[in-house]
Structure 1
Amino acid sequence: MPRPYVTLSVATSIDGYIDDTSPSRLLLSNADDFDRVDQVRADSDAILIGAGTMRADNPRLLVNSEERRAAREAAGKPAYPLKVTVTKTGDLERELKFWHHGGEKVAYTTDAAEDKLRERLKGLADVVSTGEELDFGALLDDLGERGIERLMVEGGGQIHTAFLSQDLVDEIHLAVAPLVVGQADAPRFLHPADYPWASTRRMTLAEARPIGDVVFMRYLPKQESRA
């Protein structure tokens, strides 16, 4: 089965941070941009976040619009996309909101953590090991076998870095907020890694537009700009 088309979705500050170091989540998007994200979720077959994002933000990760959920069902799809997470250690608690809202869930992990996670999430999620290490290619292969055609990856930084450094991203949705974080310990969009292109290679910019005070840009990382 073909792998899903992967869209990496992120909102950052002007200086590339996805949050600050305060206990509360930094809201980077505005209401109109959150609505855009909700539409992208509704257009996706699965949505993925990493374990760190689950622990830090405890999101429900839903399509919030009733109209969009109804449109999915009218098209013969479940009301909510499949919810996906990735954890190397298996240290995810049953009480997290992720497991108790929306439709089906799947957690990808390692051989060492599989049994522990399967016991911990019994009745809440399907648990799949990708081998001795987290294998994002194997994850995409498994999602393809499940009939997932479009995967939306919502972070955090380690997950974004893994997908992009392994050349697994077809499209990047980047919303830049008019904020500067400037905190060295705050989480960033991307981490240092061996990315599969020279630093001088320019991606194709497919779209750029303001959404209120946020600038939305859509990049195609597998296509080189001819500009």
Structure 2
Amino acid sequence: MAERPYVLLSVATSIDGCIDDTSADRLLLSNAEDFDRVDQVRAESDAILVGGNTLRRDNPRLLVNSPARRAARVAAGRPEYPLKATVTASGDLDPGLNFWHHGGEKVVYTTDAAAPKLREALDGLADVVATGPAVDFPAVLDDLAARGVGRLMVEGGGSVHTQFLAQGLADEVHLAVAPVLVGRADAPRFLGPADYPGGPTRRLSLLEARTVGDVVLLRYAPKESSA
């Protein structure tokens, strides 16, 4: 079995820990410099993963936007775009979403029960992989490894980030904190309740802290063995 990918969680939050507000429009927390930084991280990744809830809510394309970065990937013998992956327990994903119609190869990880309807709905748009009675995140990483993915960028949402951290599967966290206060109890947040490895007394290793315009980027290593 191939070694599992290096997993990097990437998220932008408000000062009070929200990843969006409760309006119909997406709240843009990053600034232009930080969006460009994220584009660079995407270009350095072999695959980008996002949850089904984020696809339904934000309808993202998840592309490397810089032509120069795409050209550099091709010159290095890599696909122009990273593989795009999503996870969904319900299988309720519209084939008209932007995700399916931009960029390179796509793969969906789902449950045994949801796989048949997804294969029918997404015929020709994406590979559909069933991981058992529930979405099995270690199995997702094993399948990505078999596809040649060495570096995985996870862009959310909150339930997906929570699973990767709670199961000890994340190697690095990029937390971009924007100078914004959302202030809504029902706004979506970076992480949900979970039994995180080590509990609240374990302190993650801080790898870097720097400003990106008016955003503060914090890089953490969640695993105890990380340096």
Q: TM-score, normalised by structure 2?
A: 0.98
Task: Give the aligned partner of residue 169 of structure 1.
Answer: 170
Alignment partners' CA distance in 1, 2:226 and 2:63: 34
Q: Match of 1:222, SS?
A: coil
Alignment partners' CA distance in 2, 1:183 and 1:103: 37
Gaps of 5+ in 1: none
Residue correspondence of structure 1 range 19-98 to structure 2 within 5 A: 19-98=20-99
Alignment partners' CA distance in 2, 1:71 and 1:12: 30
* Aligned residues: CA RMSD: 1.1
Aligned residue identity for 2:168: D
Change (3 A) 1:115 1:72: same
Q: For residues 86-121 of structure 1, what are the alpha-carbon distances to aligned partners after superposition, in whole Å with 9 as ceiling and x for unaligned? A: 010110011000000000000000000010000000
| Aligned residues between the structures | 226
Contact 1:203 1:225 in 2 (8 A): no
Change (3 A) 1:17 1:146: same
Task: Give the aligned partner of residue 207 of structure 1.
Answer: 208
Q: For residues 110-135 of structure 1, what are the alpha-carbon distances to aligned partners after superposition, in whole Å with 9 as ceiling and x for unaligned? A: 00001000000000000000011110
Aligned residue identity for 1:5: Y
Q: Match of 2:173, SS?
A: strand
Alignment partners' CA distance in 1, 2:58 and 2:151: 24
Task: Give the aligned partner of residue 124 of structure 2.
Answer: 123
Q: Which runs of 4+ in 1 moved over 6 A?
A: none
Superposed displacement of residue 200, structure 1: 1.3
Contact 2:13 2:177 in 1 (8 A): yes
Change (3 A) 1:225 1:142: closer
Asked whether 1:221 is paired with 2:222, we answer yes
Q: For residues 51-97 of structure 1, what are the alpha-carbon distances to aligned partners after superposition, in whole Å with 9 as ceiling and x for unaligned? A: 00000000000000000000000010000000000010110011000
Task: Give the aligned partner of residue 155 of structure 1.
Answer: 156
Contact 2:167 2:196 in 1 (8 A): yes
Aligned residue identity for 2:196: Y
Contact 1:163 1:169 in 2 (8 A): yes
Alignment partners' CA distance in 2, 1:59 and 1:197: 34
Alignment partners' CA distance in 1, 2:224 and 2:17: 22
Q: Match of 2:218, SS?
A: strand
Q: Match of 1:55, SS?
A: helix
Superposed displacement of residue 144, structure 1: 0.5
Alignment partners' CA distance in 2, 1:179 and 1:224: 33
Gaps of 5+ in 2: none
Alignment partners' CA distance in 1, 2:226 and 2:96: 45
Asked whether 1:187 is paired with 2:195, we answer no
Alignment partners' CA distance in 1, 2:34 and 2:136: 32
Superposed displacement of residue 198, structure 1: 2.1
Alignment partners' CA distance in 2, 1:41 and 1:198: 30
Contact 1:203 1:224 in 2 (8 A): no
Percent identity over the alignment is 71
Contact 1:201 1:224 in 2 (8 A): no
